[in-house]
Amino acid sequence: MIPVTKPFLPPLHDYQHLLEGVWQREWLTNMGPLASQLEMELKTYLKLKHLLYVTNGTVALQMAIKALKLQGEIITTPFSFVATTSSIVWEGCQPVFVDIDKDSLNIDPHQIEEAITPNTSAILATHVYGNPCDVEAIQRIADKHQLKVIYDAAHAFGVEVNGKSIFEYGDISTCSLHATKLYHSVEGGLVVTKDPELLKELTSIRNFGIAGHDAFSTLGINGKNSEFHAAMGIANLKYIDEIKAKRTALSQHYEERLQHLKAVRPLWHSNSENNGAYFPMVFESEELMLKCKEKLQMAEIGTRRYFYPSLASALPYLDPVAMPITDDISRRVLCLPLYYSLSFEEVDLICRLILRVQNNDN
């Protein structure tokens, strides 16, 4: 059995060593020493001035919307995980979908401006598969129309654009540290902003809006994380460069073996490097994709139609909207297995099976 993904686990003694301190202190949550340590280490690694460690990536998005006091319409992408859209609805705002660029698979900046109305308050864009959006174009549009920008950077841990962290763009960036991600703390998320006042607001929101022992400063939520999750984050951070290098090498191996496959990879941002978070392929046809998926499934090899279907047509709490490019891409895209312990021999097997399907069709 080859799953589509598998979480990286550090050597057990690394994790146990950190847990010994938890047992000694008996401080389990509420931003304990390990959670604070993880924030400091992540800021150093990512070269960021401000960063908050929170419960998960979905809560991070909800906190971002709340901290920016957004109302009305938020322009977003239909090609993302459901949390991108559901967070907007959960916070009482209206998602307005804009179609994606057919090459990068990110939200198309050229279509954003056409969707802006007097009720638009923000743009919430996803760096799909970790591939940076056109952040300069999006910021120009936001500045012109006085809109806030949130980036769902769930997949983009460690990604840089123009030599600086992708998390530095927009008013707020969020990240997921879920177990399926490139870097994880089992469950967890990050909220990043350059604005000290926004950071202060987000910090208060994370802790129920509490401002001292007997006072409250804002409407808050329980966005904190535990020492057990922080311990996993600290232990895993020691290996992140090794993890990225292995996943990058596996991705290159895939590309070499599948260069004659009737499928293409998303076009990556020209001033950024792929972080190896996922290995998506957009097949020439849905028929070929489904045949390959079935062939791999018969061999007990997992794949994922990520993202399918389009959020603009799949959610029961929203009226369906046609998004021609997203509808087409989502039917043809398939993510192949990619994780640290995957072997090059297993990649060879996966590629042989896929190419066999294509060759038998010719």
What is the domain range of residue 158? 12-237
Q: Do 282 and 326 reside in the same domain of the chain?
A: yes
Q: Which pLDDT score, from 0 to 100, does residue 281 have?
A: 98
Q: In this structure, what token pair is assigned to residue 200?
A: 């202060």
Q: Do 183 and 53 reside in the same domain of the chain?
A: yes
Q: Do 17 and 125 reside in the same domain of the chain?
A: yes
Q: How far is CA 74 from CA 57, 59, 112, 285, in A?
A: 18, 17, 11, 32
* CATH code at position 285: 3.90.1150.10
Whether residue 5 lies inside any domain: the answer is no
With contact defined as beta carbons under 8 Å apart, do 218 and 203 qualify?
A: no
Looking at the DSSP assignment, which residues form a beta bridge with residue 6? none
Whether residue 1 lies inside any domain: the answer is no
Q: Which pLDDT score, from 0 to 100, does residue 208 have?
A: 95
Q: Which pLDDT score, from 0 to 100, does residue 156 have?
A: 98
Residue at which a domain ends, from 210, 237, 264: 237
Does this model's pTM top 0.85? yes
Residue at which a domain ends, from 237, 270, 285: 237
Tokens 């080859």 found at:
2
Q: In this structure, what token pair is assigned to residue 328?
A: 């087409």
Q: Where are the alpha helices (DSSP H) in the chain?
A: 12-25, 33-46, 57-67, 82-90, 109-115, 135-145, 196-206, 227-237, 240-257, 286-298, 311-314, 324-332, 344-361
Q: Do 299 and 341 reside in the same domain of the chain?
A: yes
Q: Which pLDDT score, from 0 to 100, does residue 359 have?
A: 86
Closest CA to 333 of 285, 283, 293: 283
Whether residue 7 lies inside any domain: the answer is no
Q: Do 98 and 199 reside in the same domain of the chain?
A: yes
Chain centroid to CA 133: how far?
Answer: 12
With contact defined as beta carbons under 8 Å apart, do 255 and 265 qualify?
A: yes
Tokens 């509808």 found at:
327
With contact defined as beta carbons under 8 Å apart, do 327 and 308 qualify?
A: no
Whether residue 2 lies inside any domain: the answer is no
Distance CA 123, CA 109 (A): 10
Whether residue 3 lies inside any domain: the answer is no
Q: Which amino acid is residue 260, in one-letter code?
A: H
Q: In this structure, what token pair is assigned to residue 219?
A: 């409407």
Looking at the DSSP assignment, which residues form a beta bridge with residue 190? 53, 175
Q: Which pLDDT score, from 0 to 100, does residue 212 have?
A: 79
Distance CA 186, CA 120 (A): 35
Q: Which pLDDT score, from 0 to 100, does residue 362 have?
A: 58
Whether residue 55 lies inside any domain: the answer is yes
Q: Do 207 and 303 reside in the same domain of the chain?
A: no
Q: Do 28 and 116 reside in the same domain of the chain?
A: yes
Residue at which a domain ends, from 221, 237, 253: 237
Q: In this structure, what token pair is assigned to residue 46?
A: 């990512």
Counted domains in the chain? 2
Q: Do 226 and 269 reside in the same domain of the chain?
A: no
Distance CA 200, CA 218 (A): 11
Q: Do 200 and 323 reside in the same domain of the chain?
A: no
Whether residue 4 lies inside any domain: the answer is no
Chunk the chain into consecutive blocks of 10 residues (it has 362) and report each block's average pLDDT, rounded to whole numbers: 98 98 97 97 97 98 98 98 98 98 97 97 98 98 98 98 96 98 98 97 96 88 98 98 98 97 97 96 98 98 97 96 98 98 98 94 63
Q: Do 228 and 248 reside in the same domain of the chain?
A: no
Q: Do 61 and 164 reside in the same domain of the chain?
A: yes
